[in-house]
Amino acid sequence: MQRSSARLLALTLVVLLATLVAACGGSGSAVTKPSAAKAVGMLPNRVVIDVRTPAEYAAGHIAGAQNIDVEATDFGARIATLDKKAAYLVYCRSGRRSALAADQMATAGFTDIVDGGAMADLVAAGAPTE
């Protein structure tokens, strides 16, 4: 009898753990990281944010993107003014800063964020620039 109780307890714990992992991870995340080609196809339906420095932005950026420097001290305050329910795509030079920005936005309550990664990859996949 003790052996079946122990098995039942172990099974219950496994099911509980699997439920917690599913609820907290992956598929429920506000951030997605598609291929550059897929991200380019999403551009018309998203608010596009270039999270590089103003100097990098001025040298060229994805058409229609707004510049909010993720490493600026006012990044949190600037994203706080945005609609948290809107759909966003963030990008940078190499993908490091876009990942940081996407994570910060998700933590701040944004629900639909695409990490577009590196600008060069987006441009190579057909993103227009200005």
What is the spatial distance between Cα 50 and Cα 65, in angstroms, rounded to a whole number? 6
Which amino acid does the sequence have at 107? T
What is the spatial distance between Cα 17 and Cα 29, in angstroms, rounded to a whole number? 18
The active-site residue out of 48, 49, 92, 101 is 92
Q: Among this protein's residues, is 92 annotated catalytic?
A: yes
pLDDT at res. 10: 45
**Closest alpha carbon to 126 in 53, 37, 65, 52:** 37
Residues 6 or more apart whose CB falls under 8 angstroms from that of 73 comprise none
Tens-digit pLDDT profile for residues 45-88: 999 999 999 999 999 999 999 999 999 999 999 999 999 999 99
Tens-digit pLDDT profile for residues 25-34: 444 689 999 9
The domain locations on the chain are 1-28, 33-124
Q: What is the DSSP-derived secondary structure letter of residue 75?
A: H
pTM, two decimal places: 0.78
Fold for 33-124, please state it: Oxidized Rhodanese; domain 1 (3.40.250)
